[in-house]
Structures are given as C-alpha cells and as structure tokens.
A and B are shown apart, each in its own frame.
Chain A
Amino acid sequence: MFCRVETGFKSEFTDPEANLVLKKIREIHPSLAEKIRWIRKLRVTWMEIDAPRDKVVQSIQAAFKNRVTDWVFTGDLLPSAAGSTGTLYDLMQESPFRPGVFHGIEKRKRLNVHDEESLVILDAIQTVLGRKSTSDRVVTGELLLLEGAKLIQSDLEWVARNWFAREQTESWSLLSEEELKRNSRFQGEQVAKYLASPHTAVRSRLLQFRAPSRPQDLPIHWTRINELLRVKMPAIGSKASLCQGDEWSFLSDMRFSSAKLQMESLNETEFQLCRHQLDHFDQRGEMRLQTVLGVLPERNRLWRSEIEGESPLKVRDDFEIAIERVAESTNTPLAVMKVLEESHESFPAYFWTGSVSLFNPALLPPNPRETGSLSELLFVGYADQGLIRNLTFLSEVKSVFRHAIQGEAIDFSIHASGRSLLQCLKEGRGHLQYGMDLHIDSVTDWFKRFFESALSLGFIWGINPDKKEWLLRELDLRGIPCLSFGTTTLTGDVRILEGGSVKAGATIQEFFGVHGSNETREEALLNEPLFLREERKQPGQFRNRFATEELILKPESFHASVATPIVVRPSLDSWSGLMVLSDLVDQEFDSKHLDYLLRKCTAMGGQINSIQVSYLNGLREWSKILKKVEREYGIQVSEIEFAHEPDVQAHWMAIQVVAKVSDIRTVRTEELKFTQDRIYWLPGDFEQPGTRWLAGFEGRYQTGLHSAVAIESTEDPAKGVVDALSFALKKRKLGAEIRLQHHFPGGFFVSVSENERYAIEEEWRVLGVEFEFVGRVTSTPYLVIRNEADQVETISIEDIL
C-alpha cells in the first residue's frame, strides 16, 4: 500500500533545525528573513509497503512515532498520532500570527539518486514487519512550512533553491496553504507518483541505446569487435609478423583477405565468390566489413556472351546479387563500390573484394600433437553448376558445419573450391603439419584427377572419427555428397596409399617445401611494365576520380565515396569505427600517391592501421614502395592477391587503406565550411607531430577543427595546393584569400574558427606541431592568391575545376 508520513515536533516544542535555516537566510538575505514570521520543518517519507493496512500502521507507529516530542501526520492512517485535527492545521495553530498566510516547500530525492536515508527507513520498516521484500520502496524528503503574509513565490523559490534543496539530487515543489490543510497529498495515487520504480526508469533509459531489431543469433561478436577497436595503435616502427597463406595478421586477431573476381565466365565468378565466402568460413573468424572494388566499363570483356545478347549491365546486376547473397549469408556489413571509368574501354574488367575480419583464437582447432587426436579427411563437395544452387548448397553445408562444430565432430575445415587437392592440402598446413595418409583406392576416378586439376565447390574437413557416423548421416540427410580419402597422422610423413601399400611418400618438409611459401610471391611480380605498346590517353586521369554509384552499408554508414574514405560503425553500442579508403591504381603509382592516400585518411581523423593490396601483373616497384612504407612508418602492409596474365595489357593494383576511428562523430570532412575561418598549413610527413595530432594520437582540441584537407603532392606543388583548396571550396561555393609565401610540399590545410584558434594554436605549440597561417575562407567563390612578390591573382573556382 502507498502511504505518506510527515513527522515534526509538536507545537509546544521549538524546531531547532528550522530555526537554523531561518538563521542562515537571515545572514544572506535579511529582507527576506524579515518576511518569514514562523518556520517549521517536517520529515516526509513516501512509501510503498507490500503488507496489509494494519501491519503498515503498526510499522509506522513503531518506526516514526515518538510519543513525547513528535507528531506524525499520515492522513487517515494514524490520526491519533497527530494533534486534534490530524492535519498540519494543528501545527499552524502555534504560529504567533493567526490566521497567518502559510506556504509549503517540499523537497524529495530525485529518482536514481542514492538515498541512504530511505534504505535505512526501509530496513527499519521491514525489521518491524519481520520480513524482507524487494517490492517495498521508500523515498525521503522534507517539508518546510513557512508563515509570512508578504512572502511571494519568487521568495519561496529562492529559499528552495539556495537553502532548502540541492537541485542536483533533490527536486522541490511549492505547496499552497489549501494543499497543506487538506489531506489529499496522502492519497495513494499522489504518493505513487513519487515512487516510480527506479529500476524501470533505468531500464527504459538503457533501452534507448539498444540496437534496433538486431537478429538475436548474430554470429558476429560485436562486443569483441568493440574491444578490438579500442586497442591502441602500435608505436611507429614496430614490425608485424606475416602469416602464411593469403591471410595476414596485424593484431594477431584481426585478419584480412581478398579475392579477385574475374568476370569472364559465370562459373569462375561463382567459384571465386564461394571461395571468398569459404575463406572466412574456414578461418572461423568473424567477418566485419567487406568492400568490393572493381572496374566496370560499359563496353569491355565483361560481356558474358554477345551471342546470348546479355548486356554488361545485366552482368553487373548478377554480380551485385551474388555479392549481396554472400554478404547476407555471412552477416557481413558490405560496401559495394563500383568504379566507372570511361577511359577503361580497352581494358579488361576485374573486381576485387577485400574484407577486414576478426579472428577468434578460441575457435581454432586444438593442436593435434597436444591433444593426440587424429582426424579423418573428408571431402564435402558439390559438382552441379549454377549460382543459386551453389548458394543453397552452401547454406545447407553451413548448417551442418555449425552443428558439427558444436558437437565437436569437425576438427578443421579447408576450403577447396577452385584449387587442386595438393594446393588445398598445402593451405591446410596448420592442420596437417604432423603428417597424413591419403587412401586413394576407395576414391573414384573423378576425384583422383583433382590431385592435379581444380576441385569442385566444396571443403576438406578433418573430422573426429568417433563422430564420423553421425556426421555422414547428417550430410546424407541433406543430400550433400562427401568422400572419405585419408587421415592425419603424427609420423611426420605424407603418404599416398593404394591397396594398403605406399604408392608415394615424402616428408612434411619436402611436401610443403615443394609447394612454396610466401617467399616465392616476389617472383610473381614483374620487373618493369611489359605492355605499354600504346600510349595511354591521359595517364593518371582516372586516379581518384571514381564515383560511388551506390553504397550498401550495414548497419550504419557515415560517409562514403571511393575517393574519400568510407567510415563504418560496426557496433551500434559504440561510436568507434573503421575507415576504409579503396583505390585502384595503375603503373603510374608512386610513393607520393600512397602518401596522399594515407594523408587523406589522416585528414579525416583516421588512425592508419594497415594497407592491403592485390595485384594484376604487379610491379616490383610497387612492392618496394609498400615495403618502404611498412618499414619506415610502421604501417602494416599485406599483399594478398597476385595475378599474372600476360594477355592483359595493364598493371593494376587494388589498394585498401584501413584506419581506425575512435569516434565516428568526430570524423572531419574535406570541405571548407564557414566564411572567415582561418586556414593553416600543417606539414604532412608521418614523422611530423602534426600528422599524429590530426590522427588523434595526441592532443584534445582536434574536434575544434572545421575541416582538414590533404594536399596532393604533384610535380607542380602550386597545382596541388590549388586543387586541394578548390575541391574543398567547391561544394559550398565559397572562396579563399591565401598567401603562398613558398611551395607547400604536401601536408594539410586545416580550417579553424576565430574563437577556437587560440586554444588550438596553444596546443600546437605545446606539442611542437609546426603550423603556418595561410589565409581565410571568403564568401565569394574566388581563389585570391598572393604570391611571394606580393602579386595578387584571382581565379574563379569554377574555372579551376
């Protein structure tokens, strides 16, 4: 039941606490104190006690009543404990000025504020009742009773604010004389109003931050991702260890993978797509973000078959559907970037997919030598053609796989699509490094040929022999064909057995040595451009001029384009995110261009994490540039896809720069926004503290920047400066007045408002950041450049662009 209890001294006693309040008011506000002719203070308690009325009355009597000195006002619960009328009127009668003008100020602890007093009262009440209950609630407060004919509302508010209530933890309200005399405030519904369950309030507040309609069985552990994103960057100069295969590890639990998607035939595309999906499937990692970058000209070899009359657009649509299906089936946030370049007409089309995924060491299979367990090798595959059927197959396999992992029936899985058996086994080195026996007498002829040629869509699973029967039955139920063809061993040998006798054998070292390692990748790179038979029209024109036609980002995108980085927020529980800048470069690629890409991310506030590249007819020069970046800047580089196709008359490199963003709300744009903003130049080398400051490694006033623009290092430095400023000013049709006293070799332009400049400049000085005031943003769309000789040149932004 709800009840309200007011306790105060009887009228014959003075009220020292109330007198103390009056004394303090008198010290500060004597004129107001003169208006207060009489004052009293009462303790107020709002309660909800889950007990019968007689028990509640008994407990109130025991806990609150002091027969000698106190009156207890409870409405109609304990009228005998108060004066003659049972209301505050009894107390008012003691006022020296009757029938005076009375006012009340009531304060109570705010919800969710820790109220020690209420906890003690609750404990006392429950002690009297002889039981504990979580449904009982108590809120405490006080009521100040004042009499003064001249008191007005503002006076009472002043008293409430300054002397009576602490507004941070207590709320207060004014009560009129009529309200004080009546007992309506003791009614249950009035009391219940102040007793809103704090637990409910907290829960409802938390619900605001709940991710909307996220599937409950999402396999991605966003909390884990969130933790990883909070991991600090390693210090510049640290060296990362490379992993085998085409996975590469930066923080040991963050992985990248990439796949080149050749659009020449449907089957190949299909396999590559599936392969890409299986990459992650096999790694048992948790995929985070997958970007797809490609070249899709209107007229090129992407025509699947001109005879069939399929248009390139149709091919593109198919491709998109396939990618989306992959993304859906793996719950992967997906960014599709389509690069449309008119000048690529004579070149072949490729799609690169790249992904940044998380690797969960807990999901790795145990070391067989440590566990002493052996696995049987099982090929699970499908030979039928058709994209949709294959995707259906994949979903079936996935469900079996999930059950099998839970039931500890599968020790490891190697994706097998599009590779020969030996290649697959080589890639499963981690699982097979202690030896294996391959029994080929029981396998069919069509499988034997896969020792040399590529396997169909499928996997090789290492299965637990004890669970083999169960797994085969599960596969059989779903109509998934499978074939047992060997076992792992601990002998350190690879043996091929037929009819019980060894047909071929080799040591593990020999076996894996033959099939190469990372070292051989360098050989895949070309020394020099071979296919420059024709001078390309306007070389380099397509660089960074890609348009984003469409962007599919889940769950949330912040900013997207190919030329500017994509920023994603993987977890709705956190504002930290990833920034991915993708680019497709040709043989004109040089270190300045890479530097520009990195600075583009930095200008937006990203902390560069790593670079991943894929080559088509890759050049050694590129590799050297990337290695240099890795060595000198400590940025991790992974070369993840090599393709060598002499027929293709081009050199391409798909490049992805991945950066971390601690708070995506602070990501800056590259456009200059406000007139009269001050423009500063900051040098842009990675050794410079200015770069570290922009990336957010140091300092705290970065949020005061209105924008930051990376300046492209071109042969003509002035051109880089003018280009950077023109693009930054274009969108809002603003202009700038700048003074170019010297050439700016790269670096950044940042814009700062007049108000923020002092704090930011001071921080730059403290951190040793070099800066130079260059000019101001103006409202007219002209670039007014004053050179060293004080000559002024005015150019229209439109003309420059």
Chain B
Amino acid sequence: MSSKYRALILSAPGSRGERHFEHGLNSVGFDSEVLSVADIVDYRIDLDQLCLKYKVLVVTGGNTYSSVLGGGKVFALKMQHLFRWNLQKFAERGGLVLGVGTGFQALLHMNVFGDDFTLRLNETAQTENRWVKAVPIGNRCIWLKEMGTIELPLNLKDTDFVIEPGAFVEAKGKIERLGLACLKTGEQEKIIGLCDPSGRIFGLTPHPEYFLNWTNAEDWFMNPTRAAAPGQGFAIFENAAKYCEQ
C-alpha cells in the first residue's frame, strides 16, 4: 500500500495505546500520526483539514480526562465544540473512524450512532480486565469485513451497553454490531461494538491495538508455533488498509 493514506491517532490527557495504534496502522501501510487535543487546536485542524489530510481517524481509549462526567464525555465535547468535527460528514467523505474503549464512549456521546445508545457502569463497579470473544453481526462494517469470531482484551468500567428502552427493537434491527460470543442459553445479547450504517465508523469496547501479535494473547504459549503470527486485532487494521487501497 502506498503511504499516501494518512491516519490520525487522536489522544487526550489520560489516553492510552497511542503507540500501539501507530505501530498497527504503520504495519499495514498507513502513515500515522499521533496528535493530542492541544495539537489539534494549535494546528487548527477543522473538519475540512481533517478530511483533506487523513483517511483514518482513531479515537483512543484509556482514562481520558479522568472519566469525569462519564468515560469519553469531555473528549466528545472537545471534538464537538472545540474542533467542531462532524464525524458522519468525515465518513461521508470517505474517512474511516475507529473508537476504542472510552474512545467508543466518546463516539456514543457524539451520537454518531444515534442517541439511543450508551454505555454504563457495570454491576460490579470495578474495571473489567479480561479477554472477550466477539461475533460480528451484519456485513456492512468495513473494519470487520470477512471476520469470524475474534478474541480481544477488554479493560473498561463502563461495559454495560444500554439501548433506550423505547427504541430498542427498532434500533437493534438497524445496527451493525459486534456481539459477545459464547452466551449462555437464554442470555440476552451483549453488545460490545457498534458500527454506523455507512460501515465506516466503528467503535468497540475491547482493544484491538493490544492484540497485534499472537504473543499478546494470554495463552499464546499453548500454541508456540504461531508465535510469529499476527494477532486478531491486526486484522481490523488490515481491513482498513484494504478498503483504502480499493
């Protein structure tokens, strides 16, 4: 892939995993750049500039702004009111957006998937730190193209996906989503990722950037012959690269 496609990795105070994203995106051929909120203000990157310069926007996760007012809330306010970015328009102009962890929450707060969804604190009120298996539901999502069940690490407090009760049936019928696999019988579907109708904006609670190599998996030594293989999170970035090449 030629390096003309640039990726912007947006970080904020408290965010994590920027360098992992940079490594993952560069590995699949993007020319990625990590910029903080302050950098965006300094460089005056408005929506036009964003569309012009970058093909991919990654909203990083972590404990951005100490998760005050809810995870990703202040991050979302910055994008909406300080940068005046409209991510749907960015997607309409061919851009790809990925939000991970609280970055996904930020996308939810920005209502890029509609205003009927949110993530709320899980019942234990503790950070969930585990690996989750997920199944893509739908086939429009560019980021999950041709992917089966994937396993990714999760590190988040707000893991309960909530759909506005009044809009539940209608909303659920429309959305492209990443559902939790291995549900018990009778257990309600648990959503851990969401994609917009265009398939270009995708957010998920687990972190694909932390599974770029097979050795990132907690049980990789059970299958040592695959030590040099890429991780399942890598496939998500590869899908973005493939889309850009087309």
Contact = CB atoms under 8 A, between A and B. Distances in A.
Interface of A: 9, 12-14, 16-17, 19-20, 62-64, 66-69, 116-117, 120-121, 123-124, 127-128, 130
Contacts of A16: 121-125
Contacts of A17: 121, 125
A652 to B, nearest CB: 75
Contact of B77 (A9, A68, A69, A128): A128
B73 interface: yes
Contacts of B109: 66
A69 B81 contact: no
B66 A68 contact: no
Contacts of A20: 124-125
Given A67-B164, A116-B66, A121-B69, A62 B81 contact: yes
Contact of B66 (A9, A63, A120): A120
B68 interface: yes
Contact of A63 (B73, B120, B121, B123): B73
B35 to A, nearest CB: 17
A66 B70 contact: yes
A12 B73 CA distance: 22
Nearest to B115: A67
Contacts of B78: 127
Contacts of A9: 120
Given A116-B66, A117-B68, A123 B125 contact: no
Closest 8 CB pairs of A and B: A16-B125, A120-B68, A68-B118, A20-B125, A124-B74, A69-B120, A16-B121, A127-B81
B169 to A, nearest CB: 16
B77 A63 contact: yes
Given A66-B118, A68-B116, A124 B162 contact: no
* Interface bin, chain B: 20 to 34
Nearest to B122: A16
Given A17-B125, A68-B163, 16 more contacts: A9-B120, A13-B120, A16-B123, A16-B125, A19-B125, A63-B77, A64-B69, A67-B115, A68-B115, A68-B117, A68-B162, A116-B66, A120-B65, A121-B68, A124-B68, A124-B74
A128 B78 CA distance: 8
A68 B163 CA distance: 7
Name, among B65, B68, B82, the residue most crowded by chain A CB atoms within 10 Å (CB to CB): B68
Contacts of A63: 69, 73, 77
A120 B121 contact: no
Contacts of B116: 68
Contacts of A127: 74, 77-78, 81-82
A127 B77 CA distance: 7
Contacts of B80: 62
A13 B162 CA distance: 10
A63 B125 CA distance: 22
A230 to B, nearest CB: 40
A72 to B, nearest CB: 11
Majority secondary structure of chain A interface residues (helix, strand, loop or mixed): helix
Given A16-B124, A16-B125, A69 B74 contact: no
Interface of B: 65-66, 68-70, 73-74, 77-78, 80-82, 109, 115-118, 120-125, 162-165
B121 A117 contact: no
Contacts of B118: 66-69
9 contacts: A62-B77, A67-B115, A67-B164, A68-B115, A68-B120, A117-B68, A121-B69, A123-B65, A123-B74
Majority secondary structure of chain B interface residues (helix, strand, loop or mixed): mixed
A124 B66 contact: no
Contacts of A66: 70, 109, 118
B74 A14 contact: no
Contacts of B65: 120, 123-124
B115 A124 contact: no
Contacts of B163: 68
B38 to A, nearest CB: 12
Contacts of B115: 67-68
A17 B125 CA distance: 6
Nearest to B109: A66
Contact of B81 (A19, A64, A130): A130
A69 B116 CA distance: 10
Nearest to B64: A120
Nearest to A19: B125
A744 B109 CA distance: 85
A69 B123 CA distance: 14
A64 B109 CA distance: 11
Contacts of B165: 12
Nearest to B84: A130
Nearest to A21: B125
A20 B126 CA distance: 9
A127 B124 CA distance: 32
Nearest to A13: B120
Contacts of A123: 65, 74
A13 B119 CA distance: 12
A282 to B, nearest CB: 58
B144 to A, nearest CB: 24
A120 B77 CA distance: 12
A20 B121 CA distance: 12
A121 B162 CA distance: 24
A120 B74 CA distance: 8
A66 B122 CA distance: 16
Name, among B109, B118, B163, the residue most crowded by chain A CB atoms within 10 Å (CB to CB): B118
Nearest to A20: B125
A123 to B, nearest CB: 7
Contacts of B121: 16-17
Nearest to B79: A127
B164 A124 contact: no
Nearest to B67: A120
Contacts of A64: 69
A16 B160 CA distance: 11
A127 B78 CA distance: 7
Contacts of A116: 66, 68
B218 to A, nearest CB: 26
A304 to B, nearest CB: 81
A116 B122 CA distance: 24
Nearest to B117: A68
A121 B123 CA distance: 25
A63 B164 CA distance: 19
Contacts of B124: 16, 20
Contacts of B70: 66
A170 B124 CA distance: 25
Contacts of B123: 14, 16, 19
Nearest to B167: A68
Contacts of B120: 9, 13, 68-69
Contacts of B68: 116-117, 120-121, 124
Nearest to A9: B120
A69 B71 CA distance: 14
B125 A124 contact: no
Nearest to B14: A120
A128 B81 contact: yes
A401 B82 CA distance: 60
Nearest to A63: B69
A209 B123 CA distance: 52
A19 B68 CA distance: 20
Contacts of B77: 62-63, 124, 127-128
B74 A68 contact: no
A666 B38 CA distance: 53
B95 to A, nearest CB: 23
B238 to A, nearest CB: 34
A268 B61 CA distance: 87
A13 B164 CA distance: 12
Contacts of A117: 66, 68
A14 B162 CA distance: 13
A709 to B, nearest CB: 61
A432 B123 CA distance: 88
A124 B73 contact: yes
B42 to A, nearest CB: 16
A130 B77 CA distance: 11
